[in-house]
Amino acid sequence: MKRYFLRKILIYLLTFFLAVTIDWMIPRFMPGDPVTNMIARAAINSNAASVMYEYYTHVFGLDLPLWQQYLNFWGSLFRGDLGISVYLFPTPVVDILKRAVPYDLALLLPSILLSWIAGNKFGALAARSKWLANTVSPLSYVLTATPYMWLGSLLAWVFGIVLGIFPIAGAYSFSLNPNLSFAFIWDVLKHWFLPFASLFLVGFGGWAIGMRNMIIYELESDYSHYLTALGAPTKLIRKYAFNNAILPQITGLALQLGVVVAGALVTEVVFSYPGIGYLLLAAIQNQDYFLVQGCFLFIIIGVLLANFIIDIAYVLVDPRTRAGMQGESA
């Protein structure tokens, strides 16, 4: 088991190195110049602009050779320094991310976990209920095939504009000051609900379909027929079927994390929700190298860490994996 985890850690470290390197390269292949855009927003005369361009190019380290910029990037990264934002100069990127990350966690964690749990439970029920299979299951196919942006826009139009139940932009009303009062918390929850619902519904549909198909496969397998012939209780057979069917769903969760995070980024843009996605769009539009790098770095670390946790969970849940690891070590 020790060898297994060491191999996994090595793979994740290599993946992290390659992903962060690509993260550093992407902004520098973008057309345009971040310092030029920054000075253009200041609307100053040409003489002052040339002096400011030279000064800020030196401040951001963009006058150095690319190889030296790359080495400086890794050195700063290990010190916890992600640079200064060009778009929100002179605010450090770390401070900007600290304000955005809580919104992402509040949106992603509940939507991923609740959609996975509810979708698997519903899929298991639909596998043995013709009424659910014929009525609600088709809706699951529609939900999982719907792009996050379309579903978010539809929910915003129906519940925000037509019915006026939920707000459709921001994390809370601008008229309120952040505090721990019931009025402010309730307002935050109302702004949070539609982005959450968009992510939850798409994920729910996919997990429900996957679990229903897996349960049907397990109930038609040889061991299920053998247990039925022995007179085993139906409840016991369904329990074994569920335990076996949940394993591919755990693997699927690891594979779908990147897709869900990408969906969350788009959803935040639709609802102007102040998370990493909304921040990333502004950084790209303003060619802010350092903020783009910081946003992608958070996504890389989050996805890799979540996948590593899922790998550990899979080992704990699946006895066959543990048995294989013990045989390998022997």
Q: Is 329 in contact with 33 (CB distance < 8 Å)?
A: no
Running DSSP on this structure, what letter comes out for residue 274?
Answer: T
> Domain ends where: 19, 51, 81?
81
CATH number of the structural domain spanning residue 283: 1.10.3720.10
Residue 149, amino acid: M
Q: What pLDDT does residue 305 have?
A: 85
Question: Domain limits at 262?
Answer: 2-29+87-329
Based on the fold, state whether residues 316 and 270 are members of the same structural domain: yes
The confidence score (pLDDT) of residue 114 equals 92
Supply the pLDDT for residue 324: 57
Q: What residues are paired with 92 via a beta bridge?
A: 84
Identify the domain boundary among 61, 81, 101: 81
Which neighbouring-strand residues pair with 84?
A: 92
CA distances from 283 to 69, 86, 89, 162 (A): 19, 9, 12, 32
What residues contact 149, with CB distance under 8 A and at least 6 apart? 266, 267, 269, 270
Residues 45 and 157 in one domain: no
Kindly state whether residues 76 and 101 are assigned to the same domain: no
Same domain, 61 and 115: no
Ranges of residues in the chain with a pLDDT under 70 are 1, 42-45, 318-330
At residue 84, φ and ψ (nearest 5 deg) are -105, 135
* Domains identified in the chain, total number: 2
Assess whether 214 and 261 both reside in one domain.
yes
* pLDDT at res. 321: 62
Q: Is 318 left (phi over 0), alpha (psi -120 to 50) or beta?
A: beta
Same domain, 225 and 185: yes
Residues 191 and 56 in one domain: no
Same domain, residue pair 46 and 122: no
The pLDDT, as a whole number, for residue 1 is 66
Tell whether 131 and 185 lie within a shared domain: yes
Q: Answer yes or no: do 54 and 155 share one domain.
A: no
Per-residue DSSP letter, 84: B
Residues 44 and 18 in one domain: no
Note whether 150 and 225 are same-domain residues: yes
